[in-house]
Amino acid sequence: MDTAGGSGPDFETRQASPGGEAAAARAEAAQRATEGPSISDNLNAVYASARQAFADFVELVTLELHRAGITFMWMLAWSTFAVLLVVTAWLGLMAGLALWIISHGYAAAGVVLGIALANLIGGAAIMLWCVKSGKDMLLPATRRQLRITAAQTAAEAKSP
């Protein structure tokens, strides 16, 4: 119930004091100031601070991911260009090797097929190495740890 303008438990105090209701409000504010902030004020301040810290963290992560995405795009673009240069250099070296072998009296068709076969075997060996190395990308230690944790949790759930 609002008693600011009418009669209430402190009506006589407000009327007796000089300045009426304004003086009573000033006295109440001064009393609150000497008591310090309430628990709800402190909780609201902690909540606001935590909320702002989380918002700042999310903004930082967003900005860093944006920057990382742009950097990754440039890395892909420049690596594509680099691969193009490496491939053309490799083709030039293979053509030079073929011309050198042909200049020693070998048949051109046999030389070109031999170089193509050597490149094919080399590429197949690299691909097999990549496939075997790909097993490390399955995070074996992490998966093993998760299996152990899951087994422990299941055992704890079964025991009374």
In order of 13, 18, 22, 51, 140, the CA distances from 3 in angstroms are 13, 18, 14, 36, 71
Q: Tens of pLDDT along the chain (160 residues)?
A: 455 555 555 555 555 555 556 667 777 777 666 677 788 888 999 999 999 999 999 999 999 999 999 999 999 999 999 999 999 999 999 999 999 999 999 999 999 999 999 999 999 999 999 898 887 777 788 888 888 888 888 888 887 6
d(Cα 130, Cα 136) in Å, to the nearest integer? Answer: 10
The model's pLDDT over 20-53, given as tens digits with 9 standing for 90+, comes to 566 677 777 776 666 777 888 889 999 999 999 9
Q: Phi first, then psi: what are they for 2, rounded to 5°?
A: -90, 120
Per-residue pLDDT at 82: 97
Encode burial over 84-104: b for 16+ CB neighbours within 10 A, e otherwise: eeeeeeeeeeeeeebeebeee
Angle of helix 39-103 relative to helix 108-133, nearest 10 degrees, comes to 160
Contacts from 143-148 at CB under 8 Å and sequence distance 24+? none
d(Cα 102, Cα 111) in Å, to the nearest integer? Answer: 7
The model carries a pTM of 0.49
